Structure 1
Amino acid sequence: MRALLLSAYSAVSHRFWAEQVMAHTEAEWTCLTLPPRHFRWRIRGNPLTWALKEHHTLSQPYDLVLATSMVDLATLIGLYPHLGRAKKVVYFHENQFAYPESDEQAPQGEAKMVNLYAALAADEVVFNTAYNRDSFIDGARIFLKRMPENLPAAKWLEALRQNARVLPVPILPIASDVGRQNMPQRIVWNHRWEYDKNPDDFFGALFALSEEGVAFELAVMGQQFRQTPPVFDQARERLANQIVAWGPQPEAQYHALLASAGIVVSTTWHEFQGLAIMEAAQRGVLPLVPDRLCFPELYPGAYRFDGTRKGLTDTLRAWLTAPSSRPAPLATAQWEWPAWQGEYRALLS
């Protein structure tokens, strides 16, 4: 089987997924990706970029086209009609209807339409979580109701909800004892340094605990950008005595720091699966996640707080000062490739 994988915004998690899908399925793969920058242009311009740069590759015959939801698949099929005769699978790592927009951003109407057209053009639509699926469908219904025409989309959207598959991005298995030296007082942040990850609540809770005299260590990692929320600079100054690592780390050091942590926290307003939290939990770190978004379907209640800064502060205080309040490390085999390889092969066969 000749298969074409298209990833129009190849962020870290997208790249990991693409590499692992190709490694764990039986096909003769060709892969086209585009860098994760200039989002507005990338999500709308990817067919033109590929048509001008990859015409020969796109002109080849394929049995399968696997595209991320960032790919304007409908336009690409219009430019290369023979691709429409292949089996077309669209994978949603995220959807634009559930993305929190900052005050500085204009509404992402075109990005939402690309998601919709991709779903319409596909033979199979796949989401990484049920939350991703439901927020896409519910968000699309609200979005279309605001448009000038009364489009009869409800029936199609509900059919999509029933027929879409939910397949997570699996993580790679690791040895159960690989480098684990979990320090109960060490807290790790391993997310993008952007507003949608809600660092204000995370650091606000740590400021409060530090002022109370609660003992903890802090490793702040994750992807950093030229412009970051001001709270990161404030935290580096106010929590200087607790910080053991700051900023992006080489891969080996990153995994070593993960395996040394006791608690990994998310306070995000935007998450559709959360590989960073999963990889930490896989190493014996206790995940502490808000009771919203994708987290209720992935984490039992013992690992969730109520989503407020106070709830986070109270749970962290208890975990740091009363060891008996801490849950046991979470089993993660259900997130790993051996649990999902059969379903991926069936999807792409």
Structure 2
Amino acid sequence: MSVLLVEAFYGGSHKQLVDLLQERVDDCVTYTLPAKKWHWRARTAALYFMQAIPASPSYRVLFASSVLNLAELVALRPDLASLKKILYFHENQLIYPVRKSQERDFQYGYNQILSCLVADVVVFNSAFNMHSFLSSISTFMKTMPDHRPKGLEQLIGPKCRVLHFPIQFADVTRFLPEHKLLLRQSQTPHSSSSSSEDSPDLSEITKASSTASAREPPNEPPVKKQSKAQEPQQGANVEDTERQPASRQCADQEPEKPRPLHIVWPHRWEHDKDPQLFFQTLLKLSEQELNFEVSVLGETFTDVPDIFAEAKEQLVSHIRHWGFMPSKEDYLRVLCQADVVVSTAKHEFFGVAMLEAVHCGCYPLCPKALVYPEIFPGSYLYSTPEQLCKRLRGFCKHPQLVRQHVVQVNTGAFSWDALGEEYRSLLTAGSSSSSS
């Protein structure tokens, strides 16, 4: 047990990472606390682990998330101070959103800065996370009334590196509807590229959705061209229907009405994910009598914003799934059934749920901010609530535009297969200079 994995908030992406490392990296031992009362975990976890972790001469590496005050732990346990200490940032408290500036507790960000100073390697799950942390240290410390330390970012910066969160993508083939299977089968090895040059401009899709009609569809719809055998049965326009074999339609048969657009929101039920914006947008679509279904997934914690109960009542006729799904298989099945996955986050340092949804064939719509421009081409980003509403409105009217679209995001780049060797190297005992 040369690798000591310590997680003070064992839930969500924190749990996923620890479990993956435990499974895929040899010689690990894990100590955790349940994912409850986050603020108390940040304040007191070091004292708990001081007693919970037995002394052992076989420890070589200590890996902990930034919820733990690493400085306190190594002070309380001097035997751990000599280990190669790795601090992993899923999120940082220097820019974590609070509803009112006076609500920000200085201690949480301060703990993270102290932890960085005693760590040998500081790892961030995205460049956005790293740059936002380092660039905010000086401003953050100015909230101290006097005797402010200087040059902390110069001390911490050389230790820092970006190593994306490794996702263990499941095989979801058995859950995919026919049109997603056809798209996946028709892809070339390069069609999952995240290159913006290959990605169709979403403005073109939006424009097409506003002008398309069964009478006169766009001449060059911005969707992947398919052979007749690959044309999806659902969401087809009149011309698509007319191209179907005679055995599947009669000359006087009305074209099949597309099933409603299925929108999924798979995020934590907390204010920083801005559920208010999401539900306000859906209510506008509903008021315009647009046809759509919605699945609201994600974990809930102690305080659930009131907007969820209100929206459930107001959108009852549109709801397909509502609430957290403990079964990962059921969760992935819903993602595979969905057409569009939406983020309205005011805080996101990586976004596992969005990438999992894209892996399941969902079309992503994300804010043009936070980590999203680092992962998603500009064609999937929106700048204002009005843009989000406009794009969803167009997709509600013409769901075939998303059902025939191959998403240009290389999810494989964020998989354990792509990142595993870097993590194994990171967790190899040695000097910090050789590993950073």
Q: TM-score, normalised by structure 2?
A: 0.74
1:315 equivalent in structure 2? 391
User: Which residue identity lines up with residue 71 of structure 1 in the other structure?
Assistant: L
CA contact (8 A) 2:117 2:155 kept: no
Render the CA deviation track for 1:57-97: whole Å, top value 9, x for unaligned: 24554110011111111111111112111111110011111
Match of 1:243 in 2: 319
| Greater shift in the superposed pair: 94-103 or 112-121 | 94-103
Alignment match, 1:333? 412
* Aligned counterpart in structure 1 of residue 176 of structure 2, from 174, 180, 183: 180
Residue 313 of structure 1: CA displacement?
Answer: 0.2
* Structure 1: distance between partners of 2:90 and 2:161: 13
1:100 aligns with 2:179: no
Cα 1:176–1:158 change in 2 (3 A) is farther
Aligned to 1:110: 107
Q: Look up the match of 2:33.
A: 34
In 1, the alpha carbon distance for the partners of 2:103 and 2:326 equals 35
Identity %: 35
- The one-letter amino acid paired with 1:319 is F
Write the distance in 1 (CA, Å) between the matches of 2:313 and 2:415.
Answer: 38
- 1:344 equivalent to 2:420? Answer no
Distance 1:211 1:104 in 2: 35
The answer to whether the aligner puts 1:14 opposite 2:14 as a matched pair is yes
Q: Which residue among 279, 285, 296 is the counterpart of 2:356?
A: 279
Question: Following the alignment from structure 2 to structure 1, what is the Cα–Cα distance between the partners of residues 135 and 421?
Answer: 30
- Tell me the secondary structure at the aligned position of residue 130 of structure 2: helix
User: Which residue of the other structure, out of 160, 167, 178, is the alignment partner of 1:171?
Assistant: 167
Aligned letter for 1:328? V
The one-letter amino acid paired with 2:362 is V
Distance change (3 Å), C-alpha of 1:48 and 1:146: same
C-alpha distance in 2 between matches for 1:346 and 1:109: 34
Please name the residue that 1:72 is paired with. Answer: 69
Residue 129 (str. 1) matches residue 126 (str. 2): yes
User: Relative to 1, partners in 2 of residues 1:70 and 1:58: Cα closer, same or farther, differing over 3 Å?
Assistant: farther
- Measured against aligned partners, the alpha-carbon deviations of 1:253-295 in whole angstroms (never above 9, x if no partner) come to 2121111100111101111111111111111111111011111
- Pick from 284, 292, 296: which aligns with 2:369? 292
Q: CA RMSD in A?
A: 2.0
State the distance in 2 between where 1:348 and 1:98 align.
28
Match of 2:305 in 1: 229
SS across alignment from 2:36: coil
Query: Which SS does the other structure have where 2:31 is aligned?
Result: strand
Tell me if the contact between 1:96 and 1:108 (Cα under 8 Å) persists in the aligned partners: no
**CA–CA distance in structure 2, aligned partners of residues 231 and 163 of structure 1:** 42
SS of residue matched to 2:165: coil
In 2: Cα distance, 1:185 partner to 1:221 partner: 17
2:138 to 136, 141, 150: 141
Name the counterpart of 1:84: 81
User: SS at 2:6's partner residue?
Assistant: strand
Shift of 1:112: 0.9
- Name which of structure 1's ranges 338-347 and 327-336 shifts more when overlaid on structure 2: 327-336
Cα distance in 2 for residues equivalent to 1:84 and 1:315: 53
Residue 2 of structure 1 corresponds to 2
Aligned equivalents of 1:227, 1:70: Cα separation in 2:
20
Query: 2: CA distance between counterparts of 1:217 and 1:246?
Result: 11
Asked which structure has the greater RCO (Cα within 8 Å, sep 6+), the reply is: 2
Contact 1:191 1:276 in 2 (8 A): yes
Distance in 2, matches of 1:104 and 1:98, equals 11
What residue number does 1:49 align with? 48
- In 2 relative to 1, CA 36–239 (structure 1 residues): closer, same or farther, beyond 3 Å? same
Structure 1 gap segments, 5+ residues each: none
Structure 1 stretch displaced more, 29-38 or 169-178: 169-178
After superposition, the Cα gap between the structure-2 partners of 1:178 and 1:146, relative to the gap in structure 1 and judged at 3 Å, is same
User: Which consecutive unaligned segments of at least 5 residues does structure 2 have?
Assistant: 181-258, 429-436
Give, in angstroms, the shift of residue 246 of structure 1. 0.9
Report the more deviating stretch, 289-298 or 311-320: 311-320
Q: 1:284 to 1:158 in 2, by over 3 A?
A: farther
Separation of aligned partners in 1, 2:46 and 2:92: 19
Structure 2 equivalent of residue 152 of structure 1: 150
TM-score by length of 1: 0.92
User: Aligned equivalents of 1:311 and 1:235: distance in 2?
Assistant: 21
The higher radius of gyration belongs to 2
